Amino acid sequence: MKAAVLYRAGELPQYVDFPAPIPQNENEIEVAVRAVAIKHLDKSIAAGNHYSSDTTREGGRVIGGDGICILPDGKRVYAIGASGMLAEKATVEKNMIVPVPDTLDDVTAAALPNAVIGAAMALRFKGKMQPGDTVLINGATGFTGRVAVQIAKYYGAKKVVATGRNLSSLQELLTLGADEIIPLTDDFHTQLKGPFDVVIDYLWGHTAAKILSTLKGKGRFTHSTRYISVGSMAGDTITLSAAILRSADLQLSGSGLGAWPKEQVELLFTEILPEMFRLAASGKLIVSTTAVKLADISTLWDKDVCNGERLVVTI
């Protein structure tokens, strides 16, 4: 089969012939792959920079973590790969499969799940978002941030405030549900007019430090804020004053691989993803994509996509 194979961490994947994977247990099944999104997570894992990265196997390994595929019985589904997904064939886990509506195209269906995981899981479980909440989304101009704005509104947010660097993409967020937009200038934090019930942060770094500084109390009762780190595009570490934690009703947590209990992951597959697929199929959840071919993987792996688009490889 043809596949995108990585031979050494940090190198470009190669389009080559590679042995088809074999199911390793009763929970795995072979599928024909249709479309796979290339995400920051995939690139970070391939480079060996993500905390979930493993050692590159001798002889290379197929990359790609999830995608749209066809089961042996002909059903089209989204699935998490037991083997790498950027290939003509893959093995997937039977308990990590979600049917895809007939009216939803392969490319959109492949692009959506990672963003839903990065948005809905943070809002619903870590942020414990309730209808009527005010939500701040830091770094909302990326693909996942744009989805987060829409999901927050769908979940009943009274007000969604979005920050970002890309001014044109930031302006577009007003058409996707954002009530207020704030460009990430050096003093952007002075424009934050809380209180915020939930903060979803895709950037971390100095932007997180500035947002957290605005939550510092003065010895009186403060508003309860759930602050959730989802990404770290602006840096992996911050300096956090202990006075902020002591003076504010602040819950600081993260949402990512390993942060959710089993029952929440089960709800992702049985409730959350099916619901979001239906929303996208009905035009109520809007995403932008750029479709490319598997044969071009070496030249497109580092391709920059702008304005919150997602790169999707069709097989």
Say whether both 57 and 178 belong to one domain.
no
pLDDT at position 157 is: 98
CB contact set of 55 (below 8 Å; sequence gap of 6+): none
Say whether both 91 and 129 belong to one domain.
no
- Looking at the domain assignment, is residue 259 inside a domain? no
Domain boundary among 209, 233, 254: 254
Say whether both 247 and 300 belong to one domain.
no
Say whether both 9 and 91 belong to one domain.
yes
pLDDT more than 90, % of the chain:
85
Say whether both 215 and 240 belong to one domain.
yes
Label residue 165 exposed, middle or buried (CB < 10 Å: 0-12, 13-18, 19+): middle
pLDDT at position 40 is: 78
Of the candidates 252, 249, 170, which has an alpha carbon nearest to the alpha carbon of residue 209?
A: 252
pLDDT at position 305 is: 80
H or E segment to which residue 160 belongs: strand 159-164
The pLDDT-based confidence of 59 (bands split at 50, 70, 90) is confident
pLDDT digits (tens, 9 = 90+) for 193-219: 989 999 999 999 999 999 999 999 988
Say whether both 138 and 93 belong to one domain.
no
pLDDT digits (tens, 9 = 90+) for 20-54: 999 999 999 999 999 999 987 778 767 655 555 55
Say whether both 220 and 130 belong to one domain.
yes
19-43 core/surface letters (b: 16 or more CB in 10 A; e: else): eebeeeeeebbbbbbbbbbbbbbbe
pLDDT at position 14 is: 94
pLDDT at position 43 is: 80
Q: Strand, helix or coil at 270?
A: helix
pLDDT at position 42 is: 75
Say whether both 131 and 156 belong to one domain.
yes
- Looking at the domain assignment, is residue 90 inside a domain? yes
pLDDT digits (tens, 9 = 90+) for 217-240: 988 899 999 999 999 999 999 999
**Based on the structure, what is the number of domains in the chain?**
2
- Looking at the domain assignment, is residue 93 inside a domain? yes
Domain boundary among 235, 254, 273: 254
Distance CA 91, CA 195 (A): 47
- Looking at the domain assignment, is residue 69 inside a domain? yes
The residue among 148 and 9 whose pLDDT is bigger is 148
Judged against a pLDDT cut of 90, whether residue 11 lies above it is answered with no
Domain boundary among 254, 278, 303: 254
| CATH code of the domain in which 44 resides | 3.90.180.10
Judged against a pLDDT cut of 80, whether residue 58 lies above it is answered with no
Say whether both 225 and 299 belong to one domain.
no
pLDDT at position 256 is: 93
Say whether both 65 and 139 belong to one domain.
no
| CATH code of the domain in which 230 resides | 3.40.50.720
- Looking at the domain assignment, is residue 293 inside a domain? yes
Average pLDDT over residues 261-272: 96
Average pLDDT over residues 249-274: 96
The mean pLDDT value of the chain amounts to: 93
pLDDT more than 70, % of the chain:
96
pTM (two decimals) = 0.92
- Looking at the domain assignment, is residue 161 inside a domain? yes
Say if residues 308 and 202 touch (Cβ distance below 8 Å): no
Give the range of the structural domain holding residue 176, as residue numbers without chain letter: 116-254
CB contact set of 220 (below 8 Å; sequence gap of 6+): none
Count CB atoms within 10 A of the CB of residue 3.
30
Say whether both 242 and 123 belong to one domain.
yes
pLDDT at position 186 is: 94
- Looking at the domain assignment, is residue 271 inside a domain? no
Say whether both 126 and 247 belong to one domain.
yes
- Looking at the domain assignment, is residue 132 inside a domain? yes
pLDDT at position 307 is: 77
The pLDDT-based confidence of 306 (bands split at 50, 70, 90) is confident
